[in-house]
Amino acid sequence: MLAISRVIVFSFSLLGSLVAAWPIFSAVKIEFVNSGFLQFLSLAFSDFEVIITYWQSFISTLLESLPAISIALSLLIIFIFMGSLRFLTKDIKILINKNILAN
Amino acid sequence: MNLNDFFQSKTFKGILIGIGAVIIFLFIFRLGMTVGFKKADFSYKWGENYHQNFAGPKRGFFRELGGMGDRDFIGAHGIFGKVLKIEGSEMVISGQDNAEKIITVGADTVIEKFREKIKIDGMAVDDMVVVIGEPNNEGKIEAKLIRIMPPPPPKPGEVKIQ
């Protein structure tokens, strides 16, 4: 009985994370563009020598423009999705084994 | 190894723990920035209004701690945006956080356009630039590197007026 309720809970969390993924990943993409983080990061490729000289300013700029909350939220969605998948497969396996033993 | 075994494996568990640790780190990092900003903001306002308003912030310090979004701070070390004005060794740039900032160009400032180094007089109003620098006591950014970027492509349906 516990396994069934766990399967239901984790199914909902899996579904919820899938539904939430699209708007959150879109928001992260917008945040990366609006914050200028990608533009600042691109300097590491185009002006590597200057960036090495002024690496402290460069790191500070990257940290200031890092959309931390958006990244954390998107990772949280991935975390919930992967965690749900892990527990769901475990509980489904338990249920299948119980059914085999019962039959 | 089938998929079910992979989900129960130590590798998968390690990935989950790693992601969890990064999430916690990012939230703590953001919280640190928020608290630091609020403290600095509070100290600044407290000093500014010392003679007028000795009692502290009107809404209380803890209410001031609201707002954990990503775009509530103004970057102090860099700016990405459009040049609004160039005057002598200073320029005004409208940045990514919708704040206009004054950039000072010194003798050691490197200005790059494509693969060549240029001087400030080679720059023009409406140039898109990425600036890395250090904030000074006047609230300006002393530029170390200015990279002139190609203009962004017009959005669909957008007509560029020359």
Per residue in B81-121, pLDDT tens? 999 999 989 999 988 767 788 999 999 999 998 888 999 88
Q: What's the predicted TM-score (pTM) here?
A: 0.73
Q: Which residues of chain A have a CB within 8 Å of the CB of B26?
A: 68-69, 71-72, 75
Q: State whether ipTM is beyond 0.95.
A: no
Nearest to A61 among B7, B75, B110 (CB): B75
Q: Which of A25-39, A67-81, B39-53, B121-135 has the lowest mean pLDDT?
A: B39-53
Sign for the CA dihedral angle at B135, B140, B141, B142 comes to negative
- Give tens-digit pLDDT for B37-64: 777 776 676 666 655 554 544 444 444 4
Q: Report CA-CA distances (Å) from A17 to A31, A82, A85, B117.
A: 20, 9, 11, 48
As a whole number, mean pLDDT of residues A38-49 equals 91
Average pLDDT, rounded, for chain B: 79
What pLDDT band is residue A36 in, cutting at 50, 70 and 90? confident
Q: Which of B10-19, B20-29, B56-65, B146-155 has the lowest mean pLDDT?
A: B56-65
As a whole number, mean pLDDT of residues A20-33 equals 90
Residue in chain B nearest A81 by alpha carbon: B16
Structure tokens at B115: 């693969």
Contact between chains at A43 and B130 (C-beta distance less than 8 A): yes
CB contact at 8 A, A61 and A36: no
pLDDT of residue B56: 47
Q: Residue A83 belongs to what domain range?
A: 2-102
As a whole number, mean pLDDT of residues B140-154 equals 86
Query: How far is Cα B5 from Cα A86, in angstroms, rounded to an integer?
Result: 10
What pLDDT band is residue B72 in, cutting at 50, 70 and 90? low
pLDDT above 80 for B141: yes
Query: How far is Cα A74 from Cα A29, in angstroms, rounded to an integer?
Result: 10
CB contact at 8 A, B103 and B138: no
Domain count, chain A: 1
Nearest to B70 among A35, A61, A85 (CB): A35
Structure tokens at A21: 């993924």
pLDDT of residue B114: 84
Which residue in B136, B101, B73 sits closest to A64, CA to CA? B73
Q: Which residues of chain A have a CB within 8 Å of the CB of B69?
A: 69
Higher pLDDT, B62 or A84: A84
Nearest to B149 among A39, A50, A89 (CB): A39
pLDDT above 70 for B78: yes
What pLDDT band is residue B16 in, cutting at 50, 70 and 90? very high
Residue in A86, A87, A92, A96 to test binding to B, most B beta-carbons within 10 Å: A86
pLDDT above 50 for A42: yes
Q: Which residues of chain B have a CB within 8 Å of the CB of A83?
A: 16
pLDDT above 90 for A77: yes
Q: Chain B within 8 Å of A29 (Cβ-Cβ)? A: no
pLDDT of residue B125: 92
